Amino acid sequence: MKSLTLILFFFSITLIAQESPQWHAVYQYKRILSEKAKQRRDSSIAQQPAMAAMLKRIYKRIDNREYLMDFNKTASIYKEKPRLDKPGGFGGGRPSRVLYKNIKTHRYTQLRPLMQQVYLIKDSLPKYHWKTTNESKTIGKYMVVKAEADYNEKGKKKHLTAWFTPEIPISNGPDKFGGLPGLIIELNNNNEEVYLLKELVVNPKNKVEIKAPEKGKVVDEKTFKIEAEKLRKKMMKMYQNRRGSKGGNKGVRISIVR
């Protein structure tokens, strides 16, 4: 681990020597479904033949996305890359989700539109108890080091595997992940979703202003999830009432939180 410490020190000095560097990153996101989850999804689609094509398009978009992250030494802005195949679709004209992370204060602010309401979620960033390993490899042009962490979500134990690069000693990564002595290049979240850095530009010509969004109903993460779940149940009840005479809508679950 002495060699890793020396590498981190060297690149930290190099980074400090630069004048306010800024980066633009593109992360590829992919959701991984278990066989049971695939079967449940296929079953729910089969129960709604009139909506099958639309549901398949929605799931395809949910399962494969690209995210843009503009960041400097202390903060970042993270949002989904605009898609050219969405001329209208759901929520046309609504503001997009934006995640602002402040590495120094370990806080985040996230703009989240939900139906007719725009929320501004303000809360602490998750803390993961990372264990850095001696494993290393090369991803693209970066030397990366493996780190692992376990965490609990809704009473279930989950596992994170991250590959970070000491060459960019900034404690950041995709979504709300971070906390390592280097930028996360690849991350596997419990074999349920994978993030992979596709592109990284240092000091791009068109720099994005890195600041927290300001407009929206201010809540914490817990309150937002409670309100989102109430809305989901309300939507499901309305939908089932409309289709009650046609056999209902059993087995279909609509998520409006993710």
- Token pair belonging to 98: 């934006």
Is the pLDDT at 180 greater than 80, yes or no?
A: yes
Res 94: pLDDT: 61
**Distance between CA 239 and CA 73 in Å, rounded?**
47
Is the pLDDT at 249 greater than 50, yes or no?
A: no
Beta-carbon neighbour count of residue 151 at 10 Å? Answer: 15
Strand, coil or helix: what is 207? coil
Res 26: pLDDT: 98
CATH number of 23-81+95-246: 2.50.20
Q: State the virtual CA torsion across 157, 132, 179, 4 in degrees, nearest 10.
A: -170
Is the pLDDT at 162 greater than 70, yes or no?
A: yes
Res 16: pLDDT: 44
State the average pLDDT for the chain.
85
Sorted by where each begins, the domain ranges of the chain are: 23-81+95-246
Give 49's pLDDT tier (boundaries 50, 70, 90).
Answer: confident
Enclosing H/E stretch for 74: none
Could you read off the pLDDT of 62-94 as tens digits, one per residue? 889 999 999 999 999 999 998 765 544 444 456
Is the pLDDT at 14 greater than 60, yes or no?
A: no
CB neighbour list of residue 87: distance below 8 Å, 6 or more residues apart: none
Is the pLDDT at 182 greater than 90, yes or no?
A: yes
Could you read off the pLDDT of 86-104 as tens digits, one per residue? 544 444 456 789 999 999 9
- Lateral strand order in the sheet of 75-80: 131-139, 142-153, 156-165, 183-189, 193-202, 23-31, 64-71, 75-80, 98-102, 107-114, 117-124, 217-219
Task: State which of 4-18, 87-101, 106-120 shows the largest mean pLDDT.
Answer: 106-120
Percent of the chain with pLDDT over 70: 82
